[in-house]
Amino acid sequence: MIQKLVDWVEKWADHRHAKKALALVAFTESSFFPIPPFVLIVGMLAHEKKPSWIRLAVIGTLSSVLGGVFGYFIGKFFYGYIGAPLVAFYGLTAEVAYLGNIFREHVFITILLASLSPAPYKVFTLSAGLFAVNFWMFIFASLVGRSIRFFVVSYFADRYGIRAKQFIIRQQKMTANILFIAAFISVVYIILKIQGIL
């Protein structure tokens, strides 16, 4: 099922409405769609006749943040009807409960790390709304984190083309593990530092 969705998303890289597709995928991925928009960006920039990588990064960033806002409001007003089933579908109910405590103390750093990490961003957007974290801080952290991620992926996809696509797919799991460990260590360090243990 997931592979079919990946193949379907990749097909849009050749379409004349590829940028609109990118905006839609980036928007929906921030709240419920399982396939990341980077698949589409890499596909679009792997072709000989490619668009501006900066433009794609901007489209992806803004659409992703807007999708994050949508996820925030789902979590805030409709979590019981929509958010909870989505979180249960991804098997992340325990993570959401844990995030409540983290959010209340460290809104910016939590959203920033979520925006950069391979962990599903949608879980953090839904949780942010559920726990009613500071809305403007949520947007600011999302803008910073998502722009870094989109610009980095777009740059390397533009520079290395099809090799970047193959490398990103091949190394996705290893990169995900490294980023997750780094994010976890950073959060633990900050919490311990604030509590005066370090």
Place of tokens 């006749």: 49
Crossing angle (nearest 10°) for helices 121-130 and 53-77: 40
Q: Which of 54-58, 100-104, 106-110, 125-129 has the lowest mean pLDDT?
A: 100-104
Residue closest to 26 by CA, chosen among 16, 17, 39? 39
Give pLDDT, residue 187: 62
Whether pLDDT at 30 is above 70: yes
Separation between Cα atoms, residue 129 and residue 185, nearest integer Å: 25
pTM of the model: 0.71
Separation between Cα atoms, residue 159 and residue 112, nearest integer Å: 26
Express as a percent the part of the chain with pLDDT over 90.
12
Burial (CB count <10 Å: 0-12, 13-18, 19+), residue 13: buried
Place of tokens 């489209």: 59
Residue 63 CB neighbour total at 10 angstroms: 24
Give pLDDT, residue 1: 45
User: For the residues 130-140, what does the mean pLDDT come to?
Assistant: 89
Tokens standing for 16?
A: 């004349």
| Tens of pLDDT, residues 95-108 | 667 767 777 778 88
Which amino acid is it at 149?
Answer: R
Helices (H), the chain: 2-11, 18-29, 38-45, 53-77, 84-89, 93-105, 107-116, 121-130, 135-194
